[in-house]
Amino acid sequence: MEDIIPTRHKSGLTVTELPESLKFALRIFLLGERHQGFRKEGATHRSMLVNVSQFTKVQDQVEALLRDELTRIPNASVPSVS
């Protein structure tokens, strides 16, 4: 991850891809969501917090890339942001 989003970075960092570790974490989260559905726990709120930067501009780029990644995963629904 350090090569894509360095621990120390400036607010102008351009993020063009997601680290493989974040893609993996997203898939694990979605599997957990699917598992909860099979357990029939009903409609409960669950969210995945992704905080890779202190800068809003960088976080916004990561959010867009995560949404793109979600469209590539079969049966994944893109959650709304509130």
pLDDT tens by residue, 3-15: 899 999 999 999 9
pLDDT tens digits along 17-53? 999 999 999 998 888 877 665 556 566 667 889 999 9
Q: Does pTM surpass 0.85?
A: no
Calculate the alpha carbon distances from 10 to 2, 32, 45 in Å: 14, 34, 33
Identify the band that residue 82 occupies on the pLDDT scale cut at 50, 70 and 90.
very low
d(C-alpha 9, C-alpha 16), whole Å? 15
Q: Which structure tokens are listed for 16?
A: 């063009």
At residue 21, the 3 state secondary structure works out as: helix
Are 4 and 19 in contact, with CB atoms under 8 Å apart?
A: yes
Q: How many Cβ atoms from other residues are within 10 Å of residue 58's Cβ?
A: 19
pLDDT of residue 78: 55
| Mean pLDDT for the chain overall | 83
For residue 66, pLDDT beyond 90 = yes
